[in-house]
Chains A and B, each alone.
Chain A
Amino acid sequence: MTAALEAAECGKQVILVEKTPTLGGRTAQLYRYFPKMCHPTCGMEINLKRIKGNPNVRVMTMTEVTEVTGSRGNYAVTLKVAPRHVNENCTACGDCGKAVASEIADDYNYGLGKVKAAYLPHPMAYPQRYVIDPSIAGTAEGEAAKAACKYDAIDLGMKEESVQLTVGAVVWATGWRPYDANKIQPYGYDRYANVITSVEFERLADPHGPTGGKILRPGDGKEAKNIAFIQCAGSRDENHLRHCSRICCMASLKQTQYVREAWGDEGKSTVYYIDIRAIDRFEDFYQMVQKDATVSFVKSKVARIAENAANGNPVLHGVDTEGYHRYATEHDLVVLAVGMEPEVTGVKLPDDIILDSSNFIEGSKDGGMIGAGAASSPLDVNRAVQSATAASLKAIQVIHKTASTEAA
């Protein structure tokens, strides 16, 4: 959104292509930001307002780039638009949702809850328009949803479309995804209900989340007060992600404060870490958390997790390396600070895109395509915005230079 808006507000024409049904990306799924503990939706409201008011931005949701040909200054982009089955007539009145009974996994809550198969992804969703899940598109339920709509907004016959565009520069702001925690075998994410990921924990703490903001563990709905945070779950690891994902230390420090917010002095957070990377002025947040009596730190990469079958508590095994102390510690809930994997990992990209060893986008050989934000490096929101602003100017430079060459 930043790359698009910054260019648009310089007077350039921008097409913003988004794979999911709404804008906002992963930040829209965060409860609070570090270090201010403010809400991501606040900045999103401003950005959405900018988008709504700016005629230079055209937003295409549920759309993916399938091919880019051509070169700097003159790219032909092929887009694949998935059927939303809901057109611009939708007023988000919600009648279709009421007419539908089947439920699907709630992506907004990382599958921690369910949502109707005719749904508005979340209260801040933009475009503010419902989505009919493909699973009911050809069914009686789909018809029921259509019948419930007074505004002729539901089109069950919508088909996948292919769209061609010509553009001068391409900014890849494709972001990241949480590393698949199932691959970290010793931590038992696939086996133990009370081992969750950091992104899931955001949803548990969020009043818009599946528990209404109560920190209840998934295994048995019990209040989780004694929580372990395991750093570098997948990051800094030759067996998983080779890079450091940068945000996870600060994210866990932030999440210890969710525990405090929820339970006060009764809460207990333990952070298991290798190095606390509270870089630059975030250091004061770390110092603040260190002074919090409910938070303790153990310098250790946890070796493995077992489960206490009697109460469902995860038991962490490892060694505190500061002085060599062996531990087997039981917690109510374990939060894995999972790393950032580029969303484009495993996706076929145009040939001249340059990736680094972790699949982050460095750009294209001729400079006409630019990586931005977390697609270019594991970045926090602030740095991602900075990077996207810079990427936006690089794109403008491409347009400017190729246009002036053409003119000459």
Chain B
Amino acid sequence: MNELNKAHEEYEDFSSYPDSGTESATRTVVVPGEIIASGEDLLPGEGTRRDGNDVIASRFGLAEKVGRVVKIISISGAFVPRRNNVVIGRVSDIVHSGWIIDIDYAQNGFLPLMESPRFINKHEMDQFLAIGDMVSAKVWSVSPKSIDLAMKGKGLGKLEGGFTFRVNPSSVPRVIGREGSMINLIKENTGCNVTIGQNGWVWIKGQDLDNEIKARKAIEFIAEKFHVSGLTEKMEEWFAKNK
């Protein structure tokens, strides 16, 4: 309750700031089915659909009109895997042909044995990935039967050291920032390695405990303030304050 009120008040404060960005964003909260705008020339963007002359919300979130495009920044919602998503998952089981990875979705992911970077004896698969280990992997294919993962690529593989935690998957784009601006800011200020999966799981590894805790606090702060514009500047202030 208190937190909610606080967040709300801060939002009020922020919204009174003159908008610094190029986008002239007026954001309104919409619920599914609500008519956001009417007009033939409008383009329905993410989270919206067209019905006759109207653009209608299909998600709960903040509606935004940029130029001709109307889109919704969703506030809540589960992660739905798509091809090429990078996800952070936990090894939940070992089967004869690979590993079962919990990727925080209704269905588990599957990581084939072939994806391991070196030869692995079939009887000693837990030498490479044991139950409880974390991996960062890429979604290779999604079908109703299985979600196949791949681990060959830059930055993918078993996560060693550090820790993982979760933020709301809908705020992942904000945590990453435009062209990674936000995540770089966190990396610069804390000296931590940060990897964010599209499923909302974050891996942090740093030099010492204090910086790791600070990096987590920063990310949780951003994830909470998904609705604030000009967040990168706010974060610079935040880091100056929380030296």
A binds B: no
B: residues with CB less than 8 A from A are none
